[in-house]
Chain A
């Protein structure tokens, strides 16, 4: 609770949280106007898919910066050293800090998306269940990239390192991960498709999109070939949950192993 309060005060005084929130607000409002010209019956589904596809361009990079600078600030201001000297291990600090970063960003984002429902109610036919699927996908992506951000913040010694690593991680998930898989696509057979599927769904964007499409009922999984069936070997919700758990553990463990207590300007 102490960490949450501290994180909250630090964030609302800083620019990062407001910038992230304002971008999400602006994008979602723009998408709302764009979707209002579509059919009232199906417009809500169009909106959710479009909004998801648009937000994934911005949310990861914002979350990576927020997570990374939040940890790095503790190093810069020497509060990390003070905390570790007094009562905390780095593992316990990191866990509590991560949790507080998630909560501090998720509260305003989730609050905004509930406010967002009010104008939508007047423009489109709402499907609350589908909206929850959308929120779950967005929240998962936010948590994954915040946690990857804490990894970047933990292992970096300077702000330049943070900027460089953040751009690399964003570029990796946005382009490189799928590009590498595309290069191997011709070699995928029934024997190795499950392994390929695991790597494919390690991309939070793909796992999130699949989960959202499944939740909206637009993902047709009936009458597929054996290869496709093996590729989708479990439910989209399990892929998303697996993705979340994997990246949290991955980031947390690497943060513990490679963290640097000192930061330099």
Chain B
């Protein structure tokens, strides 16, 4: 009887000293093991110890306080059964080990048809890794990495590897290596994701027939780098503030038959950067206030630029390495080049009466010397261009045969600003006497 009391006392004492030993991890995995396919497991708002493997078709629902914490030696959650549903969980502490044969993630998916939503991921190498996993839905996932300075020591927000027909929507990724990395992933759709402060928000290799709609890529080293892929659609995305000296909004490298439509490229070092790519259509985009609107290498051919608003860029478009065979209009519809290229439209058909031709001397400098990017924000660039124009050392960068006439919607706003500015100056000037009395403690009229 005495031994029994001792045993009953020692068990809670042991668990108090070693809370994770045997109880928590075993408990969650044991709970999972005890489930039947189709069961729903509702977790409490507390921390559960990982790592766990889900090998049955089950649904796991947490609360806003539910945390699954890995042991730092592997994937925190591995999904190996199809049609699993995970929701309302915080998943942390996957392995950051780069010397293992496997790259670890907070959630690694090896199966098809799963739904992962309302998940927070922290302190993990990759966020969600889809490995040969198809037709999964990933929604409302919030991933935060180690920060922009860390590239090699961490992984990607989403790592899509040999994974097809997945849907990624309404996710937020910040400070990982790449936001979404695709390698051999076809037929995927990414909509309304928000990716910021990564290396490339979207990094993309050997993946075809994917759609990216309504995503926002801000303050990354590069917005989207699409390489060695074809038949991609990019619509209604915002590529903003990818502002570093080598940065870009969208980079197409060996990418063919890409449709880039209705996107906004604003305040990037380069809006679009196109190299070794063929047959892409760039239509109805807003390419505004970038250092270089479009950087087009001669190795790229048969691009069509039509209906784009390409305004207020330091350099609207530059062709490097020679002139490729590209079209700056389609079906008699060119692009709006803004007030930098004044146009007459006597027949008021919305098209300029004469072609727009842009000449620049900077192409050689940009090609030869990478430090040129440090001067693109300098007003001296304009003098340099004018000087070379005078010396006839510039070359034609593009010729738009059917330019669109710029819209005048901002004129009223500028008038309003001017009136407001005048009012402030009058108030400060006329009220100066009173301010002088107040601030200078004297009433002398000047």
Q: Judge whether A186 and B365 touch: CB under 8 Å.
A: yes
Produce 1/0 per residue, B213-234, CB < 8 A to A: 0001011010000000000000
Partner of A181, one of B245, B375, B379, B440: B375
Q: Judge whether A12 and B435 touch: CB under 8 Å.
A: yes
Q: A178–B436 Cα gap in the complex (Å)?
A: 41
What's the tally of chain A residues with a CB closer than 8 Å to chain B? 51
Produce 1/0 per residue, B222-253, CB < 8 A to A: 00000000000000001011011111000000
B246 partner residues in chain A, CB cutoff 8 A: 220, 224
Produce 1/0 per residue, A1-35, CB < 8 A to B: 00000001100111100100110011001100100
Partner of B420, one of A30, A174, A227: A30
Q: A223–B221 Cα gap in the complex (Å)?
A: 10
Q: A13-B446, A26-B421 are in contact. Are A174 and B267 (CB under 8 A)?
A: no
B357 partner residues in chain A, CB cutoff 8 A: none
Interface status of A91 (Cβ within 8 A of chain B): no
Q: A30-B421, A42-B218, A185-B365 are in contact. Are A179 and B383 (CB under 8 A)?
A: yes
Q: A49–B199 Cα gap in the complex (Å)?
A: 21
B417 partner residues in chain A, CB cutoff 8 A: 30, 33
Q: Judge whether B380 and A46 touch: CB under 8 Å.
A: no
Q: A53–B221 Cα gap in the complex (Å)?
A: 21
Q: Judge whether A182 and B243 touch: CB under 8 Å.
A: no
Interface status of B148 (Cβ within 8 A of chain A): yes
Interface status of B428 (Cβ within 8 A of chain A): yes
Q: A22-B429, A225-B370 are in contact. Are A220 and B245 (CB under 8 A)?
A: yes
Q: A119–B422 Cα gap in the complex (Å)?
A: 20
Q: Which of A47-72 contact B (CB under 8 A)?
A: 49, 53
23 A–B contacts, CB within 8 A, in A order: A9-B442, A12-B436, A12-B439, A13-B436, A15-B429, A15-B432, A22-B429, A39-B216, A39-B238, A42-B219, A42-B241, A46-B267, A53-B377, A174-B379, A175-B379, A178-B375, A178-B381, A188-B371, A200-B374, A206-B374, A218-B243, A220-B246, A221-B244
Q: Please report B residues at the A interface, Cβ cutoff 8 Å.
A: 148-149, 151, 197, 199, 216, 218-219, 221, 238, 240-241, 243-247, 267, 365, 368-372, 374-375, 377-381, 383-384, 417, 420-421, 424-425, 428-429, 432, 435-436, 439-440, 442, 444, 446
What 4 A-B pairs come out closest when comparing CB atoms? A220-B244, A178-B380, A218-B243, A26-B421
